[in-house]
Amino acid sequence: MLPDGTQNPAYRRAMRSADHFDQELLRLSKQSAKPEKLRAASGDRAVDRYIQGHVAQKSLQPVDKAELRNQARLMADKRLTDRKKAIIMMIASGQSKKQVADALGISRQAVYKALATISKDFHLDEAQ
Sign of CA dihedral 64, 67, 73, 78: negative
Residue 107: what pLDDT? 96
Three-class secondary structure assignment of the chain = CCCCCCCCHHHHHHHHHHHHHHHHHHHHHHHHHCCCCCCCCCCCHHHHHHHHHHHHHHCCCCCCHHHHHHHHHHHHHCCCCHHHHHHHHHHHCCCCHHHHHHHHCCCHHHHHHHHHHCCHHHCCCCCC
Residue 5 pLDDT? 73
Per-residue pLDDT at 12 = 64
State residue 128's pLDDT score: 44
Query: What pLDDT shows up at residue 67?
Result: 96
- Single-letter code of the amino acid located at 33: A
Ranges in the chain, pLDDT < 70: 1-2, 8, 10-14, 126-128
What pLDDT is stored for residue 1 in this prediction? 63
Residue 54 · residue 30 · CB < 8 Å? no
Per-residue pLDDT of 25-38, as tens digits, reads: 999 999 999 999 99
